[in-house]
Amino acid sequence: MSNRFLDSFSPQVSQNAGGPDLPTIMSMPSMRSNFSSMQKEQEQLASYELWNYIAINRIATTTSKSFPMFGVPVKTEPGMKLHLDLRQKKHIRQNYSGVLQSEAYDLKPIPDTNPLVKLFETCNEMDWWETLAYETHMFWQLTGYFYWWVIPNGIGLPASIIVMPNDWMQPMFNHAGFLDHWLVTPEGQARQFRIPADEIKICGFKNPHSKYKGFSPTEAGAIWIDNTKSIERSRWHSFKNSINPSVVLNLGDTYNAQITKEEIRRIKERVMYRISGVENTSEPFLVPPDMKLDKLHYAPKELDFSNSSDSVRDAVFALRGVPKALAGITTDVNRSVVETAYLIFYETTINPLNRLLAGFITHNIAVKFDPRIVCYFEDCSPEDWERQLKEDELDFKIGALSPDMQLVKRNRQPLNTPASKSTYIASSFTPLDDALAMDDLDDEDDPPEPPEEPDDDDSDEE
Protein backbone atom coordinates (compact mmCIF):
# COMPACT_ATOMS: atom_id res chain seq x y z
CA MET A 1 0.00 0.00 0.00
CA SER A 2 1.55 3.29 -1.07
CA ASN A 3 1.85 6.45 0.95
CA ARG A 4 -0.57 8.93 -0.63
CA PHE A 5 1.20 11.90 0.89
CA LEU A 6 4.60 10.92 -0.50
CA ASP A 7 3.08 9.82 -3.81
CA SER A 8 1.52 13.25 -4.24
CA PHE A 9 4.99 14.80 -4.04
CA SER A 10 6.80 12.18 -6.15
CA PRO A 11 8.73 13.53 -9.15
CA GLN A 12 6.48 11.77 -11.70
CA VAL A 13 3.21 13.01 -10.22
CA SER A 14 4.53 16.48 -9.51
CA GLN A 15 5.83 16.91 -13.05
CA ASN A 16 2.51 15.82 -14.51
CA ALA A 17 0.67 18.18 -12.20
CA GLY A 18 3.13 21.01 -12.78
CA GLY A 19 4.20 21.27 -9.12
CA PRO A 20 7.44 20.84 -7.17
CA ASP A 21 8.67 17.52 -5.80
CA LEU A 22 9.16 16.64 -2.12
CA PRO A 23 12.84 17.76 -1.81
CA THR A 24 11.84 21.10 -3.29
CA ILE A 25 8.91 21.41 -0.91
CA MET A 26 11.16 20.62 2.07
CA SER A 27 13.63 23.30 0.97
CA MET A 28 11.10 26.11 0.65
CA PRO A 29 11.30 28.85 3.28
CA SER A 30 8.69 28.84 5.99
CA MET A 31 5.79 31.30 5.65
CA ARG A 32 5.19 31.62 9.37
CA SER A 33 4.75 35.04 10.88
CA ASN A 34 7.67 36.37 12.85
CA PHE A 35 6.12 36.21 16.31
CA SER A 36 9.14 34.71 18.08
CA SER A 37 12.30 36.61 18.88
CA MET A 38 14.31 33.46 18.13
CA GLN A 39 12.73 32.52 14.81
CA LYS A 40 15.31 34.16 12.57
CA GLU A 41 18.47 32.17 12.08
CA GLN A 42 20.71 35.13 12.81
CA GLU A 43 19.11 35.57 16.23
CA GLN A 44 19.27 31.85 16.92
CA LEU A 45 22.97 31.73 16.08
CA ALA A 46 23.60 34.85 18.17
CA SER A 47 22.13 33.07 21.22
CA TYR A 48 25.17 30.77 21.38
CA GLU A 49 26.40 32.27 24.64
CA LEU A 50 26.00 32.13 28.42
CA TRP A 51 24.08 29.08 29.71
CA ASN A 52 22.84 28.22 26.23
CA TYR A 53 26.43 27.84 25.05
CA ILE A 54 27.33 25.63 28.02
CA ALA A 55 24.40 23.27 27.40
CA ILE A 56 24.98 22.98 23.64
CA ASN A 57 28.71 22.57 24.13
CA ARG A 58 28.12 19.60 26.48
CA ILE A 59 25.84 17.94 23.92
CA ALA A 60 28.15 18.52 20.96
CA THR A 61 31.24 17.43 22.87
CA THR A 62 29.61 14.21 24.10
CA THR A 63 28.06 13.19 20.79
CA SER A 64 31.32 13.76 18.92
CA LYS A 65 32.91 10.94 20.95
CA SER A 66 30.65 8.33 19.29
CA PHE A 67 31.94 7.19 15.91
CA PRO A 68 29.39 5.86 13.39
CA MET A 69 29.50 2.12 12.73
CA PHE A 70 28.33 0.37 9.58
CA GLY A 71 27.15 -3.15 8.89
CA VAL A 72 25.18 -5.31 6.47
CA PRO A 73 22.29 -7.50 7.68
CA VAL A 74 23.02 -11.17 7.02
CA LYS A 75 21.00 -14.30 7.74
CA THR A 76 22.62 -16.72 10.15
CA GLU A 77 21.95 -20.41 10.69
CA PRO A 78 21.74 -22.06 14.12
CA GLY A 79 25.19 -22.60 15.51
CA MET A 80 26.86 -20.00 13.30
CA LYS A 81 29.20 -17.54 14.93
CA LEU A 82 27.67 -14.10 15.40
CA HIS A 83 29.48 -11.06 14.08
CA LEU A 84 28.18 -8.98 16.99
CA ASP A 85 27.96 -9.81 20.64
CA LEU A 86 24.60 -10.12 22.35
CA ARG A 87 24.72 -6.59 23.79
CA GLN A 88 25.30 -5.01 20.38
CA LYS A 89 22.70 -7.20 18.74
CA LYS A 90 20.11 -6.34 21.40
CA HIS A 91 20.86 -2.63 20.96
CA ILE A 92 20.41 -2.78 17.19
CA ARG A 93 17.23 -4.83 17.41
CA GLN A 94 15.65 -2.43 19.91
CA ASN A 95 16.53 0.73 18.02
CA TYR A 96 16.50 -0.51 14.41
CA SER A 97 13.77 -3.14 14.41
CA GLY A 98 13.47 -2.90 10.64
CA VAL A 99 16.98 -4.24 10.24
CA LEU A 100 16.95 -7.28 12.50
CA GLN A 101 13.53 -8.90 12.56
CA SER A 102 14.43 -12.10 14.38
CA GLU A 103 17.24 -14.04 15.94
CA ALA A 104 18.06 -15.47 12.50
CA TYR A 105 19.55 -12.14 11.36
CA ASP A 106 22.86 -10.58 12.29
CA LEU A 107 24.72 -7.44 11.27
CA LYS A 108 28.08 -8.06 9.67
CA PRO A 109 30.41 -5.07 10.11
CA ILE A 110 31.97 -3.77 6.91
CA PRO A 111 35.79 -3.71 6.81
CA ASP A 112 37.70 -0.63 7.88
CA THR A 113 39.11 -0.32 4.37
CA ASN A 114 35.65 0.35 2.96
CA PRO A 115 35.40 3.84 1.35
CA LEU A 116 32.37 4.62 3.53
CA VAL A 117 34.37 4.12 6.73
CA LYS A 118 37.26 6.14 5.31
CA LEU A 119 34.84 8.93 4.42
CA PHE A 120 33.83 9.43 8.05
CA GLU A 121 37.37 9.09 9.33
CA THR A 122 38.61 11.92 7.09
CA CYS A 123 35.49 13.94 6.39
CA ASN A 124 37.20 16.76 4.49
CA GLU A 125 40.48 18.64 4.30
CA MET A 126 39.75 20.64 7.47
CA ASP A 127 37.60 18.35 9.61
CA TRP A 128 37.64 14.83 10.97
CA TRP A 129 34.66 13.07 12.53
CA GLU A 130 34.89 14.70 15.97
CA THR A 131 34.95 18.25 14.61
CA LEU A 132 32.31 17.49 11.97
CA ALA A 133 29.99 15.99 14.60
CA TYR A 134 30.53 18.95 16.96
CA GLU A 135 29.66 21.49 14.27
CA THR A 136 26.70 19.42 13.14
CA HIS A 137 25.11 19.26 16.58
CA MET A 138 25.92 22.92 17.23
CA PHE A 139 23.81 24.09 14.27
CA TRP A 140 21.25 21.35 14.93
CA GLN A 141 20.63 22.57 18.46
CA LEU A 142 20.69 26.27 17.58
CA THR A 143 18.50 26.30 14.48
CA GLY A 144 16.73 22.94 14.57
CA TYR A 145 18.39 21.54 11.43
CA PHE A 146 21.74 21.38 9.65
CA TYR A 147 23.16 21.24 6.13
CA TRP A 148 25.69 18.69 4.91
CA TRP A 149 27.42 19.37 1.62
CA VAL A 150 28.14 15.86 0.31
CA ILE A 151 30.68 16.28 -2.49
CA PRO A 152 30.80 13.34 -4.95
CA ASN A 153 33.86 11.94 -6.66
CA GLY A 154 34.26 11.06 -10.32
CA ILE A 155 31.98 8.00 -10.11
CA GLY A 156 29.25 9.70 -8.08
CA LEU A 157 30.10 8.33 -4.62
CA PRO A 158 30.42 10.74 -1.66
CA ALA A 159 34.06 11.78 -1.29
CA SER A 160 33.86 14.45 1.42
CA ILE A 161 31.34 15.99 3.83
CA ILE A 162 31.27 19.64 4.89
CA VAL A 163 28.90 21.25 7.40
CA MET A 164 27.49 24.43 5.87
CA PRO A 165 26.46 27.26 8.23
CA ASN A 166 22.72 27.82 8.10
CA ASP A 167 22.92 31.57 7.53
CA TRP A 168 25.06 31.00 4.41
CA MET A 169 22.45 28.90 2.60
CA GLN A 170 19.69 30.26 0.36
CA PRO A 171 17.53 28.02 -1.87
CA MET A 172 17.12 29.18 -5.47
CA PHE A 173 14.15 27.99 -7.56
CA ASN A 174 13.62 27.90 -11.29
CA HIS A 175 10.60 29.25 -13.17
CA ALA A 176 8.71 25.97 -12.72
CA GLY A 177 9.04 26.15 -8.94
CA PHE A 178 11.65 23.41 -8.60
CA LEU A 179 14.74 23.74 -6.44
CA ASP A 180 17.54 24.49 -8.88
CA HIS A 181 20.56 25.11 -6.67
CA TRP A 182 21.74 26.60 -3.40
CA LEU A 183 23.30 30.05 -3.28
CA VAL A 184 26.06 30.17 -0.66
CA THR A 185 27.14 33.53 0.75
CA PRO A 186 30.05 33.03 3.17
CA GLU A 187 31.11 36.63 3.86
CA GLY A 188 29.76 39.29 1.58
CA GLN A 189 28.09 39.21 -1.83
CA ALA A 190 31.43 39.13 -3.70
CA ARG A 191 32.21 35.58 -2.53
CA GLN A 192 28.95 33.88 -3.49
CA PHE A 193 28.98 30.49 -5.20
CA ARG A 194 26.45 27.83 -6.17
CA ILE A 195 26.00 24.23 -5.05
CA PRO A 196 23.84 21.73 -6.97
CA ALA A 197 20.60 20.88 -5.23
CA ASP A 198 21.32 17.14 -4.99
CA GLU A 199 24.60 17.70 -3.10
CA ILE A 200 22.99 19.38 -0.07
CA LYS A 201 21.48 17.02 2.54
CA ILE A 202 19.24 18.44 5.27
CA CYS A 203 18.24 16.91 8.60
CA GLY A 204 16.28 18.50 11.41
CA PHE A 205 13.81 18.12 14.25
CA LYS A 206 10.14 17.75 13.40
CA ASN A 207 8.25 21.04 13.26
CA PRO A 208 4.57 21.16 14.33
CA HIS A 209 4.09 24.40 12.38
CA SER A 210 5.74 23.55 9.07
CA LYS A 211 6.96 20.71 6.86
CA TYR A 212 9.72 22.86 5.44
CA LYS A 213 12.19 23.47 8.24
CA GLY A 214 13.15 21.91 11.55
CA PHE A 215 11.87 23.28 14.84
CA SER A 216 14.64 24.63 17.01
CA PRO A 217 14.82 24.18 20.79
CA THR A 218 16.15 27.74 20.76
CA GLU A 219 12.87 28.93 19.31
CA ALA A 220 10.85 26.77 21.70
CA GLY A 221 12.59 28.26 24.75
CA ALA A 222 13.18 31.74 23.35
CA ILE A 223 11.77 33.45 26.44
CA TRP A 224 14.09 31.58 28.79
CA ILE A 225 17.13 32.37 26.66
CA ASP A 226 16.09 36.02 26.39
CA ASN A 227 15.63 36.15 30.16
CA THR A 228 19.16 34.83 30.63
CA LYS A 229 20.56 37.63 28.51
CA SER A 230 18.37 40.25 30.19
CA ILE A 231 19.38 39.20 33.69
CA GLU A 232 23.08 39.19 32.87
CA ARG A 233 22.86 42.53 31.07
CA SER A 234 20.94 44.05 33.98
CA ARG A 235 23.48 42.69 36.42
CA TRP A 236 26.37 44.07 34.36
CA HIS A 237 24.81 47.53 34.00
CA SER A 238 23.90 47.50 37.68
CA PHE A 239 27.51 47.02 38.69
CA LYS A 240 28.76 49.44 36.05
CA ASN A 241 26.36 52.34 36.60
CA SER A 242 25.25 52.01 40.20
CA ILE A 243 27.03 53.39 43.28
CA ASN A 244 28.05 50.60 45.63
CA PRO A 245 29.81 52.04 48.68
CA SER A 246 30.21 49.87 51.75
CA VAL A 247 30.13 52.68 54.36
CA VAL A 248 28.88 56.26 54.58
CA LEU A 249 30.75 58.90 56.63
CA ASN A 250 28.39 61.58 58.00
CA LEU A 251 30.20 64.81 58.87
CA GLY A 252 28.93 66.83 61.81
CA ASP A 253 28.28 70.55 62.19
CA THR A 254 31.97 71.24 62.72
CA TYR A 255 32.59 70.58 59.06
CA ASN A 256 30.69 73.46 57.52
CA ALA A 257 30.35 74.44 53.91
CA GLN A 258 33.81 76.03 53.93
CA ILE A 259 35.53 72.64 53.89
CA THR A 260 37.69 72.23 50.82
CA LYS A 261 37.93 69.31 48.42
CA GLU A 262 41.47 68.66 49.57
CA GLU A 263 40.31 68.21 53.15
CA ILE A 264 37.54 65.84 52.05
CA ARG A 265 40.10 63.85 50.08
CA ARG A 266 42.41 63.57 53.12
CA ILE A 267 39.53 62.44 55.36
CA LYS A 268 38.52 59.82 52.81
CA GLU A 269 42.07 58.52 52.46
CA ARG A 270 42.45 58.37 56.24
CA VAL A 271 39.23 56.41 56.65
CA MET A 272 40.17 54.00 53.84
CA TYR A 273 43.60 53.47 55.37
CA ARG A 274 42.09 52.60 58.76
CA ILE A 275 39.25 50.28 57.65
CA SER A 276 40.53 48.57 54.46
CA GLY A 277 42.93 45.69 54.16
CA VAL A 278 43.26 42.24 55.71
CA GLU A 279 45.17 43.45 58.76
CA ASN A 280 42.37 45.88 59.70
CA THR A 281 39.65 43.23 59.77
CA SER A 282 37.50 43.55 62.94
CA GLU A 283 39.71 46.39 64.19
CA PRO A 284 37.85 49.16 66.06
CA PHE A 285 37.68 52.54 64.34
CA LEU A 286 37.38 55.76 66.31
CA VAL A 287 35.71 58.87 64.87
CA PRO A 288 35.26 62.37 66.36
CA PRO A 289 32.06 63.09 68.29
CA ASP A 290 30.56 65.07 65.41
CA MET A 291 31.29 62.35 62.80
CA LYS A 292 29.28 59.17 62.21
CA LEU A 293 30.24 56.04 60.22
CA ASP A 294 27.31 53.96 58.88
CA LYS A 295 27.51 50.61 57.06
CA LEU A 296 25.31 50.13 53.98
CA HIS A 297 23.14 47.04 53.52
CA TYR A 298 21.72 45.79 50.22
CA ALA A 299 17.98 45.49 49.87
CA PRO A 300 16.35 42.18 48.84
CA LYS A 301 15.85 43.66 45.37
CA GLU A 302 19.58 43.65 44.72
CA LEU A 303 19.85 40.07 45.98
CA ASP A 304 17.20 38.72 43.57
CA PHE A 305 19.64 38.60 40.68
CA SER A 306 21.21 35.31 41.77
CA ASN A 307 17.86 33.60 42.46
CA SER A 308 16.42 34.67 39.11
CA SER A 309 19.56 33.64 37.28
CA ASP A 310 19.53 30.16 38.85
CA SER A 311 15.91 29.48 37.91
CA VAL A 312 16.41 30.62 34.32
CA ARG A 313 19.64 28.61 34.10
CA ASP A 314 17.83 25.43 35.18
CA ALA A 315 15.13 26.10 32.58
CA VAL A 316 17.70 26.41 29.78
CA PHE A 317 19.41 23.19 30.87
CA ALA A 318 16.05 21.39 30.94
CA LEU A 319 15.32 22.71 27.45
CA ARG A 320 18.53 21.11 26.16
CA GLY A 321 18.28 17.97 28.29
CA VAL A 322 21.53 18.62 30.18
CA PRO A 323 21.65 18.00 33.97
CA LYS A 324 23.31 20.93 35.70
CA ALA A 325 25.75 18.61 37.49
CA LEU A 326 27.35 17.87 34.10
CA ALA A 327 27.86 21.60 33.55
CA GLY A 328 30.09 21.79 36.61
CA ILE A 329 27.41 23.23 38.90
CA THR A 330 27.56 21.04 41.98
CA THR A 331 26.23 21.32 45.51
CA ASP A 332 26.75 18.35 47.82
CA VAL A 333 27.29 15.95 44.93
CA ASN A 334 28.54 12.40 45.37
CA ARG A 335 29.46 9.69 42.89
CA SER A 336 25.97 8.18 42.68
CA VAL A 337 24.44 11.57 41.84
CA VAL A 338 26.93 12.12 39.02
CA GLU A 339 26.35 8.62 37.61
CA THR A 340 22.59 9.21 37.70
CA ALA A 341 23.04 12.54 35.93
CA TYR A 342 25.09 10.85 33.20
CA LEU A 343 22.49 8.09 32.86
CA ILE A 344 19.70 10.65 32.37
CA PHE A 345 21.84 12.63 29.94
CA TYR A 346 22.70 9.58 27.84
CA GLU A 347 19.23 8.01 27.78
CA THR A 348 17.18 11.18 27.15
CA THR A 349 19.52 13.32 25.05
CA ILE A 350 22.64 11.71 23.57
CA ASN A 351 21.32 8.29 22.47
CA PRO A 352 18.17 9.68 20.76
CA LEU A 353 20.29 12.23 18.87
CA ASN A 354 22.69 9.51 17.73
CA ARG A 355 19.80 7.36 16.49
CA LEU A 356 18.36 10.23 14.46
CA LEU A 357 21.77 10.97 12.96
CA ALA A 358 22.32 7.27 12.18
CA GLY A 359 19.06 7.12 10.25
CA PHE A 360 19.99 10.26 8.34
CA ILE A 361 23.39 8.81 7.38
CA THR A 362 21.81 5.49 6.36
CA HIS A 363 19.21 7.02 4.04
CA ASN A 364 21.35 9.78 2.51
CA ILE A 365 24.97 8.56 2.39
CA ALA A 366 25.36 4.84 3.15
CA VAL A 367 22.72 3.90 0.58
CA LYS A 368 24.90 5.36 -2.18
CA PHE A 369 27.62 2.79 -1.43
CA ASP A 370 25.34 -0.19 -0.85
CA PRO A 371 21.56 -0.20 -0.22
CA ARG A 372 22.05 -2.91 2.41
CA ILE A 373 24.47 -0.93 4.61
CA VAL A 374 23.05 0.31 7.89
CA CYS A 375 24.60 3.00 10.10
CA TYR A 376 24.30 2.82 13.87
CA PHE A 377 25.92 4.14 17.04
CA GLU A 378 26.55 2.15 20.18
CA ASP A 379 24.49 3.41 23.10
CA CYS A 380 26.35 5.57 25.59
CA SER A 381 26.09 4.54 29.23
CA PRO A 382 27.97 5.52 32.39
CA GLU A 383 30.60 3.08 33.57
CA ASP A 384 29.58 1.17 36.70
CA TRP A 385 32.88 0.01 38.18
CA GLU A 386 31.30 -1.66 41.21
CA ARG A 387 29.06 -3.80 39.04
CA GLN A 388 31.95 -4.69 36.73
CA LEU A 389 34.06 -5.71 39.71
CA LYS A 390 31.33 -8.01 41.02
CA GLU A 391 30.84 -9.58 37.59
CA ASP A 392 34.57 -10.24 37.21
CA GLU A 393 34.68 -11.77 40.67
CA LEU A 394 31.77 -14.07 39.84
CA ASP A 395 33.31 -15.06 36.49
CA PHE A 396 36.56 -15.96 38.21
CA LYS A 397 34.80 -18.07 40.84
CA ILE A 398 32.87 -20.14 38.30
CA GLY A 399 35.90 -20.66 36.06
CA ALA A 400 34.86 -18.33 33.24
CA LEU A 401 37.81 -15.94 33.63
CA SER A 402 41.51 -16.69 33.80
CA PRO A 403 44.18 -14.39 35.28
CA ASP A 404 45.53 -13.61 31.81
CA MET A 405 42.07 -12.70 30.55
CA GLN A 406 41.62 -10.30 33.45
CA LEU A 407 45.01 -8.69 32.79
CA VAL A 408 44.10 -8.12 29.15
CA LYS A 409 40.80 -6.53 30.18
CA ARG A 410 42.76 -4.08 32.34
CA ASN A 411 45.15 -3.24 29.48
CA ARG A 412 48.07 -5.07 31.05
CA GLN A 413 50.51 -7.59 29.67
CA PRO A 414 49.44 -11.23 30.28
CA LEU A 415 51.81 -13.52 32.18
CA ASN A 416 51.55 -16.27 29.53
CA THR A 417 52.21 -19.06 32.01
CA PRO A 418 50.28 -22.35 32.17
CA ALA A 419 48.85 -21.36 35.54
CA SER A 420 47.78 -17.87 34.38
CA LYS A 421 46.10 -19.26 31.26
CA SER A 422 44.01 -21.73 33.26
CA THR A 423 40.68 -21.07 34.89
CA TYR A 424 39.96 -22.07 38.47
CA ILE A 425 36.85 -23.25 40.27
CA ALA A 426 36.46 -23.14 44.02
CA SER A 427 36.55 -26.55 45.67
CA SER A 428 33.19 -25.97 47.33
CA PHE A 429 31.52 -25.56 43.91
CA THR A 430 30.16 -28.90 42.60
CA PRO A 431 27.76 -29.32 39.66
CA LEU A 432 24.26 -30.27 40.75
CA ASP A 433 24.12 -33.49 38.70
CA ASP A 434 27.45 -34.67 40.11
CA ALA A 435 26.32 -33.89 43.63
CA LEU A 436 23.12 -35.95 43.19
CA ALA A 437 25.13 -38.82 41.70
CA MET A 438 27.51 -38.78 44.67
CA ASP A 439 24.54 -38.93 47.04
CA ASP A 440 23.23 -42.03 45.24
CA LEU A 441 26.62 -43.74 45.52
CA ASP A 442 26.79 -42.99 49.20
CA ASP A 443 23.37 -44.55 49.68
CA GLU A 444 24.47 -47.75 47.90
CA ASP A 445 27.65 -48.09 49.95
CA ASP A 446 25.85 -47.80 53.26
CA PRO A 447 25.08 -51.32 54.74
CA PRO A 448 21.42 -52.13 55.39
CA GLU A 449 20.23 -51.62 58.93
CA PRO A 450 19.40 -54.84 60.89
CA PRO A 451 15.74 -55.45 61.76
CA GLU A 452 14.57 -54.42 65.17
CA GLU A 453 14.43 -57.22 67.80
CA PRO A 454 11.16 -57.71 69.70
CA ASP A 455 11.01 -56.57 73.29
CA ASP A 456 11.47 -59.27 75.98
CA ASP A 457 8.58 -57.99 78.09
CA ASP A 458 6.10 -58.51 75.28
CA SER A 459 7.32 -62.11 74.64
CA ASP A 460 6.86 -63.13 78.27
CA GLU A 461 3.33 -61.85 78.31
CA GLU A 462 2.47 -63.87 75.22
- The residue that leads in pLDDT, 256 or 186, is 186
Q: What is the pLDDT of residue 78?
A: 57
Check residue 384 and give its pLDDT: 72
**Taking 90 as the threshold, does the pLDDT of residue 353 lie above it?**
yes
pLDDT(9) > 50: no
Tell me the pLDDT of the chain averaged across its residues: 77
Determine the Cα–Cα distance for residues 169 and 42; give it in Å rounded to an integer: 12
Q: Which residue has the higher pLDDT, 447 or 144?
A: 144
**Banded pLDDT at 1 (limits 50, 70, 90):** very low
**pLDDT given for residue 100 in this prediction:** 44
- Please give the residue that has the higher pLDDT: either 209 or 237: 209
pLDDT tens readout for residues 258-284? 677 888 788 788 777 777 777 767 777
Q: Report, as an integer, the average pLDDT of 383-405.
A: 79
Residue 321: predicted pLDDT: 92
Q: Is the pLDDT of residue 206 over 60?
A: yes
Contact 202, 167 (CB under 8 A): no
Query: Would you state the pLDDT for residue 95?
Result: 57
Higher pLDDT: 333 or 52? It is 52
175-189, 361-375, 440-454: range with highest mean pLDDT: 361-375
| pLDDT value at 456 more than 60 | no
Instruction: Specify the pLDDT at position 299.
Output: 58
Residue spans per domain, the chain: 19-216, 246-295, 385-441
pLDDT, tens digit (0-9, with 9 covering 90-100), for 223-262? 888 888 888 887 777 777 665 666 777 777 666 666 778 8
Q: Which of 136-150, 304-318, 322-336 has the highest mean pLDDT?
A: 136-150
